[in-house]
Amino acid sequence: MSTVLLTGATGLVGVPARAALERAGHRVIAVARSGAPVSADLLDAAQRRELIAAYRPSHWLHLAWETRHGIYWTAPENETWLAASRDLLRLFIASGGVRAVMAGTCAEYDWTKLGRAPVREDAPLGPTTIYGRSKIAFHETLMQSGVSAANGRVFLLIGPGEHPNRLAPSIARALISGKPAECTAGNQIRDFIHPRDAGEALAALTTSRVAGAVNIGSGEPHSVREVAEALGRLAGRAELVRLGALPTRPDDPAYLVADTARLRNEVAYAVKISFEEMVEEAYQYWLKGEHA
């Protein structure tokens, strides 16, 4: 079996990705700044060199990046991560690595050119954020590297462990506290995927031979309103959901759903967790205080 370097192993998607790779019998070098079997600061050049020299992985799944909620879209650290990732790729290839996969984002697509159809991987690119631009830049580096490479473009996550200010947690926390949950009108249609499905899909992509961009999503359209109303029902406090209390951002696309044909047909991965199950898991996580 392969030796897989997993960077960002303790994140929302990293934990299930590691579990999936280990279940498949691969040797996983799970790396993070803290909380992982291998502790390393990937922004430190010396530690990058030491990491690759010590383990000489054949495969690499790169999940580490700037991901702090409310910051990552515009953080200058995106450029720092881009430079570090390029250097790590260079070291990985020089040590004999043969397959590299990155976690990309649906924010790589040009949201101003989306219609009402699922987004294919060949849709126009054109992010307005430094986060999206940095991801595209690393995608281009990967594709020109000479090794087998893929970019798993992750859509919208809902599940246990999210930042408390993200969509589902912010609504769930308000309802659990008996407070009004203020939302936009909620007409935006989105592709929501459970972190476990996203991690398992990226693990499957890493050990496949599929090249290029691959959407990591459920392929199912659901509105933000559906998320809010489902949480209201679970809490038994539907009257506290305040749809329309917040303005919709002018740059927020009306429809953002993945075409998952490549994921299903080429990677041979089908999502396992339904929309209803992922929303309930997210709600139960905050209700039980498992985050404390």
- Looking at residue 70, what is its pLDDT? 83
List the domain boundaries for the chain: 3-155+194-217+259-271
Could you tell me the CATH superfamily of domain 3-155+194-217+259-271? NAD(P)-binding Rossmann-like Domain (3.40.50.720)
Q: What is the pLDDT of residues 211-259, one digit of tens each?
A: 999 999 999 999 999 999 999 999 999 999 999 999 998 889 999 999 9
Q: What is the pLDDT of residues 98-110, one digit of tens each?
A: 999 999 999 999 9
pTM of the model: 0.96
Q: SS3 for the chain, per residue?
A: CCEEEEECCCCCCHHHHHHHHHHCCCEEEEEECCCCCEECCCCCHHHHHHHHHHHCCCEEEECCCCCCCCCCCCCCHHHHHHHHHHHHHHHHHHCCCCEEEEEEEHHHECHHHCCCCCECCCCCECCCCHHHHHHHHHHHHHHCCCCEEEEEEECEECCCCCCCCCHHHHHHHHHHCCCCEECCCCCCEECEECHHHHHHHHHHHHCCCCCEEEEECCCCCEEHHHHHHHHHHHHCCHHHEECCCCCCCCCCCCEECECCHHHHHCCCCCCCCCHHHHHHHHHHHHHCCCCC
